[in-house]
Structure 1
């Protein structure tokens, strides 16, 4: 006798906005099929489905196994996909879901060893060679180069109630709920904060250079650790570091914006990475934003003008474009060049021409620019029409002509050192640049998210 057909279930799916839809599915159908059907009706690429008991449904289970019954009202939460990148690998996730990685397997492109732990991910930070994922319960999962933070087993029992993670090149530091800090990775790159542990109280924000960290405390003061030549020693400017509101860095120097808009710099003792701002100190007033390349800083002032200092070869000299730097809204940097978006949506670039400092060939395309991402040697601009314009060194993603026909409806762009990846409105991925370092995402599968 033939087995009875599984009953059909009529299921209501509600959105937080109040709108809803009704879907019909077999009790033996996987939850994944229900999600896909809802995504198609709602025209969204990713969503999570919550049961009547408030539990996240397992996409691999059947509706029957998940305890879904006729007439149940499930909640659908539309997810915004996100990207993070090490030097040569990418991680893709949606808040509360799992993670997909690709690129160089030795520096984060292979997450198979921790894939069963990558659940309920809220955010991901990336160092040069390692990823660290913060989960909704405040725990941390890391993978990539073991000696550079990919192995966090020695501090895993301390990584609880984590609020924020920050990455240097080969180390991580995490702020806990109580305002203390836990660090791991290579000690000389900031992975050991034991010498300043007693000072790391009420920490509100972390910043990192290549091999040092700077922590801003609730009282506006700053605590640093790591390699002295990379900003780990700030004792010469300690009395100036009061009421700090923001800190940015180059490879070996830090620049802090104070509450009054003035700037304090420190770091590299050779003063070739932007640690010496004395020549422009009288211009650094009411600073609103600072951006760092590898060895130079650019500061945006309230009138939209820009002040630069540091190594001229890395964008520290903007004199050739000073007349064009008016009404600047935001500044971005590759390793040795800067690009500024102006109020009219156009772009001004300076610094090393080979690394994006010369945008002449695409200048007529840089219209209504909304955002820019930077690899080590190239820029990619996201325009208002959701298309992309890239320039700079082709070896670092400066040439996107091979995928230009696919770059339609772009929602977000992220850069590794050598390549770019874009999330499209339909949830698909497009990447370009060095194929071994994240520039090839053709085999990446995202449906299970």
Structure 2
């Protein structure tokens, strides 16, 4: 039996598409994409739910005259050490790169049927973690680097954000709690601070193996490798009213509400800002390289610190880094 459906974009453009009830939703979707002249997207039913592309139209309970929405997104790519994973416009995932560590499309085939309506992907060095539309998580790649989330899978519900170090992942749930997995050496075990991880607003990770979480009251909780920022106790009394945290490979820099900056972690990666501390006032933004930091001040000038090789010494261009 043939039915007629209206398919529209968020911009308001619509087309009328005929379809047979025995066809798969993907056939209807492709027909609508061609008619609208857009790339691959995902179809939403009249209630706003994403339609399974592999489902027959009849099973999707589409009725003659239904108004559907075609949601088109640009491709999003996440990089691991030796591979990539891309979220396509229709919410599915393609991965490529080295055959090992789950960096190739074939290697993610074990979870491919779960990789639908993907919202976000994060990567450790050798594994990927994807947030699905309902807030669940799918992982693949090296188990030693977080590619196996089965020990905590039942806890990974209503996930709203994931961050990754080189070998572990940390997920913020809808209630503000945190679930971690992967290598303990890279921050995959947060049990030491689990009772403190409440009302978490943001998590940042240093690649070498530590995490820092900003709580709702502006305080900070850290865990993972102490040498690379997992132990913030030396500066804990300063970490109040924190607005933003950035991380290099082995250190963290936090901007406080008064525009000052607190740093911790390995000095070899920018964890010691004392040489420029007097200049770090009215800081608006911080960026991190592999081993150094750069702060933009309120007057537009720039202050840098950390080893010179990764950019911690900006003296050669400091005369150019001044507001016009």
Regarding TM over 0.5, the answer is yes
Partner residue, 1:307:
303
Equivalent of 1:138 in 116, 135, 142: 135
Unaligned runs of 5+ in 2: none
- Cα distance change on mapping 1:96 and 1:238 into 2, 3 Å: farther
Structure ranking higher on relative contact order (CA contacts 8 Å, 6+ apart)? 1
Matches within 5 A, 1:243-282: 243-268=241-266, 271-282=267-278
CA contact (8 A) 2:41 2:90 kept: no
Q: Distance in 2 between matches of 1:187 and 1:140?
A: 20
User: How far has the Cα of 1:75 moved from its partner?
Assistant: 2.5
Partner residue, 2:205:
208
Equivalent of 1:162 in 159, 163, 167: 159
Q: Distance in 1 between matches of 2:56 and 2:158?
A: 33
CA contact (8 A) 1:84 1:90 kept: yes
Whether 2:93 is the aligned partner of 1:114: answer no
Query: Partner of 2:100: helix, strand, or coil?
Result: helix
Query: Partner of 1:239: helix, strand, or coil?
Result: helix
Partner residue, 1:49:
43
Query: Partner of 2:134: helix, strand, or coil?
Result: coil
- Cα distance change on mapping 1:98 and 1:278 into 2, 3 Å: same
User: How far has the Cα of 1:61 moved from its partner?
Assistant: 4.1
Partner residue, 1:225:
223
- Cα distance change on mapping 1:68 and 1:136 into 2, 3 Å: closer
Out of 289-298 and 87-96, give the one that drifted further.
87-96
User: How far has the Cα of 1:218 moved from its partner?
Assistant: 0.9
CA contact (8 A) 1:105 1:144 kept: no
Matches within 5 A, 1:344-355: none
Scaled by the length of structure 1, the TM-score of the pair is: 0.67
User: How far has the Cα of 1:265 moved from its partner?
Assistant: 0.6
Partner residue, 1:147:
144
Unaligned runs of 5+ in 1: 1-6, 328-342, 344-449
User: How far has the Cα of 1:135 moved from its partner?
Assistant: 1.5
Equivalent of 2:6 in 7, 12, 23: 12
Partner residue, 1:199:
196
User: How far has the Cα of 1:119 moved from its partner?
Assistant: 2.0
User: How far has the Cα of 1:93 moved from its partner?
Assistant: 1.2
Partner residue, 1:80:
74
Q: Distance in 2 between matches of 1:217 and 1:58?
A: 37
Q: Distance in 2 between matches of 1:258 and 1:149?
A: 32
- Cα distance change on mapping 1:277 and 1:14 into 2, 3 Å: same
User: How far has the Cα of 1:9 moved from its partner?
Assistant: 3.8
CA contact (8 A) 2:131 2:159 kept: yes
CA contact (8 A) 1:87 1:107 kept: no
Partner residue, 2:96:
102
Partner residue, 1:21:
15
